[in-house]
Chain A
C-alpha cells in the first residue's frame, strides 16, 4: 500500500500550494481529526491508501442488498459517480463494462455507487446493459460517500471517485476526478496489477521461508 501512488494528492499537494494556502490548512485540520489513519485524508477529503475501507450494506435492486465485507478475499473497485444518465457517467461505466474481463483477470469485483434510488439504477443498468451492481447510496442520502470522504455537500451528489480495495479490505489506491472528466481505467488497472505483483512477491517469499525451514 505504501507504494501505490495517489495522483490526486501529488498534483495538488506538491510545490504549488504556496499561492493557495487553504487546502494545506484543510489537510492539516483533517489530519488532526484523524491522526490514527496511516493515510490521512488528502485535500479532497477522500480516504487515502492504507485506510480500512468502511463497510456498507446497500440495496442493489429493489430486493437485493450488497455488503462490502462479502467480497473479502478478492479486490474490489468502488466507483462513486454523481448520477445515473448523465453523459459522462455513461461513458465511464460503459467503459468499465467493456473491460470487465480484465477486472476478472484480477478477480476484482467492480461496484458502482451513486445517490440514485434502486429503480433508477435498475432502469439505467438495463439500458446500458451493465454487468456489475450499482448500489443506491440513497437513504440516508450519500451516507457511504460521506464515509469515504467523497460527498459533495454543495451539490448533494458523490464525487467521481475511484477506490481500489485489497482482499483484506484495505484501501490501496484512490483517485478523485474532476466531476466532468472521465477518469478512465488505466489507474485502476495499474493498482490491480500492483496488488497482484505484491501478492506474488509475498508468495515467493513464503515459499522461500518454507524451503529454508
Chain B
C-alpha cells in the first residue's frame, strides 16, 4: 500500500530472462525505467540516460519496462509492442533508441520502416504487430508498474526504490552514486535495495 511517508518499491523484481537490460550483470546499481515511447518527458529522459550511461560505465545498468498511457498518447501502445516485437528478434534496444529519437513519427508504417532499418525480419515483425502478439506482455509491464507505484512517465526505480526527486543528469548521477555506496559488494539487489 502506498503511504506517502514511505517510498514506493518495485514489486516485480528485475528478471534477467524477461526484462530488457542494458549494462553489465554485476553492476552495483540497477535503474528501472517505466516509460512511454510517445511521452515527451521520456524522450528527454532517454538522452539524459545515455549521458548517464557514459558517465557511470559498468557500475550501472538500465532496465526498460513499458508504461504506455494510451488514452493520451494514441501511438504509445503500438510503439511499445513494436519494441517488444523487435526484442523478440534480439533488437530491443535498437528499436527503443530509434523510437525515442523519432517520437513524432510513430504510425504503423513508421514502425515498419524502423524495423527494416535496424535489420528485423520484416514479415515476422509485421505479423507479430498485426496479431498483437506482445499486447499481453505490455499490459503486464503496465500493471506491474501500477502495483509498484508508477503514476506517470517516466518513473525510475534505483535498486528497487522509486526515485521521487528530479531526474536531470546531476540528480540521477547523485542518486546512483548514493545507491552504489549503500550497496554492499555482490551486485545489485533487485528487490528493495538494502539498508545499512
Q: A residues within 8 Å of B by Cβ?
A: 5, 7-8, 10-11, 91-92, 94-95, 97-99, 102, 128-131, 177-178, 181-187, 189-190
Contact assessment for B69 and A186 in the assembled complex, using a CB-CB cutoff below 8 Å? no
Q: Do B72 and A186 touch across chains, with their CB atoms under 8 A apart? A: no
CB atoms of A94 and B71 under 8 A apart: yes
Which single member of B4, B148, B151 contacts A95 (CB below 8 Å)? B151
What total of A-B pairs shows CB separation below 8 Å? Answer: 61
User: What's the Cα separation between A10 and B4 when bound, in Å?
Assistant: 12
Verify A5–B1 contact, CB threshold 8 A: yes
Query: Judging by beta carbons under 8 Å apart, are A178 and B72 in contact?
Result: no
Question: In the complex, which residues of chain A have a beta carbon less than 8 angstroms from the beta carbon of B146?
Answer: 95, 99, 102, 184-186, 189
B149 neighbours in A (Cβ, 8 Å): 184, 186
Apart from A94-B69, A128-B71, A177-B4: 13 A-B pairs, beta carbons within 8 A: A10-B3, A11-B6, A95-B69, A95-B152, A98-B71, A128-B72, A130-B71, A184-B8, A186-B1, A186-B2, A186-B149, A189-B146, A190-B1
A94 interface neighbour in B1, B6, B72, Cβ under 8 Å: B72
List 4 tightest A-B contacts by C-beta distance, closest first.
A182-B151, A91-B152, A7-B3, A184-B151
Would A11 and B5 count as touching, CB distance under 8 A?
A: yes
B147, A98: Cβ atoms closer than 8 Å: no
Query: B70 within 8 Å of A by Cβ?
Result: yes
CA distance A97 to B72 in the complex (A): 10
